[in-house]
């Protein structure tokens, strides 16, 4: 970790705890800042706040009192989940107080170069693939950021010979200033999180912050399957490395069932362990980073042919009595489910779909459902999926939850069939979160293997 003096004796307010807030508070305290933590959860119900208080850090809990900002803070470090229309954040900006997120701290103290990945879909898979390839190549890559490992903690524990492979969200990227990865990746940009950002333009601007400080000595990897990325490629100082599944590029590309990097053959697309066209895109992005990082082709091929997927994201669960199953519970929108469905033969596929009804129609999923062998429909959106199933003459059952549904549908399946949980909906109508939905599905399928 770099021994910086930037924060010595500076009054810093950390707004919001959870993993990133805890990490930020501890790092700032270690760097000599005068830290105050403010978290909404009451102190008696807040073990994180209790821990920090025991460590000597001032904590204020049970709300966000605006008057706290009258105490002369020089900086706010905000949990990325707290929106910018939060009164505390609004007031901080009125006071011209810099509002950063924890990944900025990670950059400032990191001795290791950073590879940063963002995008609407594919971030976690691409991030994990990159780290796995670099490690398989004998390098030392450490996962960080939105993937579940607080970036500032990871950065504080790395040395110059390491590489940090950091998943970054739009929420995190809104709070950067000097952040400058050596290699940045944008997997794709679609429409999402508009409840947070307000407009698509704001959302895209937040993603684009990943390249703000890049120079021509740094690399920006962009998905040229999207015309907007070609436009963005003209708006950066970075050296752009494109990838595409539809055209030959001066980067990574797929052509005639083979994957290349700058004309060099890497491997067959059919040998990828993860199904779906979107995973070819993820693989090309990972290949680009790996080649720019000096990784050998053998390491790339080893990982891309054996990778079993990130938990809850098109995760292969194995086989039970000749039936394969995949857990894609994090497919909480139609686009993610459509991408998952591209990797399977519908004539042998049983799809679990449904969940929270956000008021939107699901008609755009219809084309991807044609020819399904069967569906298991659940949650608030049951009437909408029932309507499509009946229109397309797809056999279906309605069920209470993923466990009941799996036990009901399994006797109807045949050897060689695939069962896919890719709900196209959020989970909050029935579950605490998407992970709980996926965990229950995993356990239920494991029980069927016996």
Give the integer Cα–Cα distance in Å for 291 and 303: 14
The CA-atom distances, in angstroms, between 84 and each of 15, 100, 326 are 12, 11, 37
- Residue-range domain boundaries for the chain: 11-100, 103-306, 315-448
Q: Is the pLDDT of residue 330 over 80?
A: yes
- List, in order, residues 6 or more apart from 450 with CB less than 8 Å away: none
Arithmetic mean of pLDDT over the chain:
95
Task: Please check if 125 is assigned to a binding site.
Answer: yes
- Of 137, 135, 155, which is closest to residue 145 (Cα–Cα)? 155
pLDDT score at 309: 83
Of the chain, the percentage scoring pLDDT greater than 90 comes to: 91
Residue showing tokens 């107080």: 97
Domain 11-100 adopts which CATH fold? Rossmann fold (3.40.50)
- List, in order, residues 6 or more apart from 388 with CB less than 8 Å away: 362, 363, 365, 366, 369, 394
pLDDT score at 142: 97
Q: Is the pLDDT of residue 193 over 80?
A: no
Q: Is the pLDDT of residue 360 over 90?
A: no
Give the integer Cα–Cα distance in Å for 206 and 199: 11
- The phi and psi torsions of 344 (rounded to 5 degrees) equal -135, 160
> 103-306 maps to which CATH number?
3.40.1190.10
The maximal CA–CA distance of the chain, rounded, in angstroms, is 68
Q: Is the pLDDT of residue 85 over 80?
A: yes
pLDDT score at 26: 97
- List, in order, residues 6 or more apart from 390 with CB less than 8 Å away: none
Query: Encoding tokens for residue 367?
Result: 């084309």
Interval 377-388: pLDDT, tens:
999 999 999 999
Task: Please check if 121 is assigned to a binding site.
Answer: yes
Give the integer Cα–Cα distance in Å for 66 and 371: 57
Interval 246-296: pLDDT, tens:
999 999 999 999 999 999 999 999 999 988 889 999 999 999 999 999 999
Task: Please check if 123 is assigned to a binding site.
Answer: yes
Region 87-111 average pLDDT: 97
The CA-atom distances, in angstroms, between 55 and each of 9, 26, 30, 50, 152 are 17, 9, 11, 9, 18
Region 353-376 average pLDDT: 93
Give the integer Cα–Cα distance in Å for 223 and 339: 15
Interval 18-42: pLDDT, tens:
999 999 999 999 999 999 999 999 9
**First CA to last CA distance, the chain:** 49
> Hey, which residues does 233 pair with through a beta bridge?
none
Helices and strands per DSSP (H, E), number in the chain: 17, 20
Provide the edge-to-edge strand list for the sheet that holds 315-320. 315-320, 323-327, 418-421, 349-353, 374-377, 396-398
Task: Please check if 72 is assigned to a binding site.
Answer: no
Region 128-156 average pLDDT: 96
| Vertex 117 angle, CA 113 and 120, to 5° | 170
Domain 315-448 adopts which CATH fold? 3.90.190
Q: Are 429 and 380 in contact (CB under 8 A)?
A: yes
Q: Is the pLDDT of residue 148 over 80?
A: yes
Region 33-61 average pLDDT: 97
Query: Encoding tokens for residue 172?
Result: 């995190």
Q: Are 349 and 417 in contact (CB under 8 A)?
A: yes
The string of DSSP codes covering 153-222 is HHHHT--TTEEEEEE--HHHHTT-SS---SEEEE----S--HHHHSSHHHHHHHHHGGGTT--TTSEEEE
Region 85-108 average pLDDT: 97
Task: Please check if 263 is assigned to a binding site.
Answer: no
Give the integer Cα–Cα distance in Å for 342 and 198: 30
**Helices assigned H by DSSP within 359-433:** 366-369, 382-391, 402-409
Q: Is the pLDDT of residue 421 over 80?
A: yes
Query: Encoding tokens for residue 228?
Result: 């907007």
């Amino acid at each position: 970790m770099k021994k910086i003096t930037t924060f010595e004796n500076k009054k810093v307010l950390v707004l919001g705890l959870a993993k990133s807030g805890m990490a930020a508070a501890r790092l700032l305290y270690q760097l000599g800042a005068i830290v105050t933590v403010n978290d909404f959860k009451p102190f008696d119900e807040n073990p994180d706040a209790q821990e920090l208080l025991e460590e000597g850090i001032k904590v204020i809990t049970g709300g966000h009192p605006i008057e706290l900002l009258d105490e002369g803070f020089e900086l706010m470090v905000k949990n990325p989940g707290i929106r910018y229309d939060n009164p505390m954040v609004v007031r901080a900006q009125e006071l011209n107080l810099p509002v950063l997120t924890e990944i900025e701290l990670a950059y400032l103290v990191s001795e290791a170069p950073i590879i940063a990945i963002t995008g609407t879909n594919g971030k976690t898979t691409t991030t994990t693939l990159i780290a796995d390839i670099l490690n398989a190549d004998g390098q030392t890559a450490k996962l960080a950021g939105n993937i579940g490992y607080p970036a500032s903690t990871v950065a504080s524990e790395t040395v110059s010979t390491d590489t940090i492979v950091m998943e970054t969200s739009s929420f995190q990227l809104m709070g950067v200033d000097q952040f400058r990865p050596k290699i940045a990746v944008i997997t794709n940009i679609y429409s999402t999180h508009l409840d947070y950002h307000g407009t698509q333009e704001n959302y895209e601007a937040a993603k684009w912050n990943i390249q703000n400080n890049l120079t021509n000595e740094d690399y920006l990897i962009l998905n040229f399957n999207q015309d907007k990325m070609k436009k963005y490629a003209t708006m950066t100082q970075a050296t752009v490395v494109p990838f595409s599944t539809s055209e030959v590029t001066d980067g990574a590309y797929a052509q005639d069932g083979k994957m290349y990097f700058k004309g060099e053959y890497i491997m067959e697309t059919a040998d990828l362990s993860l199904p779906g066209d979107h995973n070819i895109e993820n693989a090309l992005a990972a290949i680009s980073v790996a080649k720019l990082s000096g990784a050998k082709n053998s390491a790339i091929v080893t990982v891309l042919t054996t990778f079993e997927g990130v938990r809850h994201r098109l995760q292969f669960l194995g086989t039970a009595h000749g039936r394969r199953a995949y857990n894609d519970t994090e497919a909480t929108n139609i686009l993610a489910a459509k991408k998952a469905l591209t990797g399977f033969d519908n004539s042998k596929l049983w799809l679990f779909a449904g969940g929270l009804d956000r008021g939107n129609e699901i008609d755009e999923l219809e084309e991807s459902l044609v020819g399904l062998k069967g569906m298991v429909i659940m949650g608030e959106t049951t009437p909408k999926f029932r309507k499509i199933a009946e229109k397309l003459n797809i056999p279906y059952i309605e069920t209470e939850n993923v466990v009941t549904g799996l036990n009901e549908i399994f006797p109807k399946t045949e050897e060689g069939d695939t069962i896919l949980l890719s709900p196209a909906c959020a989970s909050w109508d029935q579950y605490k979160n998407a992970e709980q939905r996926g965990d229950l599905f995993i356990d239920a399928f494991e029980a069927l293997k016996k």
